[in-house]
Amino acid sequence: MSQPDFNILFALYPGVTQLDFTGPHQVFCRLPGAHVTAASLDGGQLTFDGLTFSGLARLAEVEACDLICVPGGFGTSDAMNDLAFMAEVKRLAGTARYITSVCTGSLILGAAGLLKGRRAACHWAWRDQLPLFGALADPARVVRDGNVITGGGVTAGIDFALTVAAEVAGPQRAQAIQLALEYAPEPPFEAGRPETAPAEVLEVVQAGLGQMAQARQAAAELAAARL
């Protein structure tokens, strides 16, 4: 059974949350015919939360892809104002059939001018910055608008990737991957969304994020001014 090649590219940058891309990567690498490349501006290696990923391609070496996926993370603010990185994201998105992101990766898509008038998902804490880029913030866990498919925060990347798998390889293949990965989640708490988390838990998380909220807002406004 021969499958046409399907080239998937993860565009990485310093400060990615590793699960944003390792989750979808685990799904995508099991798609028939998939060639999955992880690349960054400089290639080589990047360390996220103490885990070092090496053998990364240079984005400039990647000619084209069928799907580009931009993960999120604390580094999003810097990445969306890294003009060389953003130029590669724009170039490669122009070659892709599917333009995708997980978590705050959608802010990078937005800063690249790829979300004008589009609905998109984002991590709940940063979703309200999407309109700066002309996008419509959608609280759904996975959002599809034309050829743009975006996932919410971090772990939404697994739901996102299975949705993409169904799109490119059919629902049966997506379900087979889900079964092989035993993806029948049972979170020990109902705390995964601000609407369901206990108030004191939300306060703790918001206090932690608050330190970076102003800087990220300024970074997003700076990037948006370039559109």
User: Judged by CB under 8 A, does residue 60 bind its own copies?
Assistant: no
Which of helix, strand or coil describes residue 33?
A: coil
CB of 43 to its own copies, least distance (A): 12
For 42, the token pair is: 């400089």
Stated as kind and residue range, the H or E segment containing 144 is strand 142-145
CB of 35 to its own copies, least distance (A): 9
Handedness of CA 108, 110, 114, 119 (dihedral sign): positive
Active site residue 103: yes
Residues 132-191 interacting with its own copies (rule: CB under 8 A) = 141-142, 152-156, 158-159, 162-163, 166, 171-172, 174-176, 178-189, 191
Please tell me the distance from the alpha carbon of residue 112 to that of residue 87, in angstroms, as a whole number.
Answer: 8
77 in Cβ contact with 216 (< 8 Å):
yes
CA angle 30, 60, 9 (to 5 degrees): 15
- Considering the complex, state which of residue 87 and residue 197 has its C-beta at the smaller distance from its own copies: 197
Which residues sit at the interface with its own copies, rule CB under 8 A? 17-19, 22-23, 25-26, 29, 36, 38, 45, 47, 49-55, 103, 123-124, 141-142, 152-156, 158-159, 162-163, 166, 171-172, 174-176, 178-189, 191-194, 196-198, 200-202, 204-205, 208-209
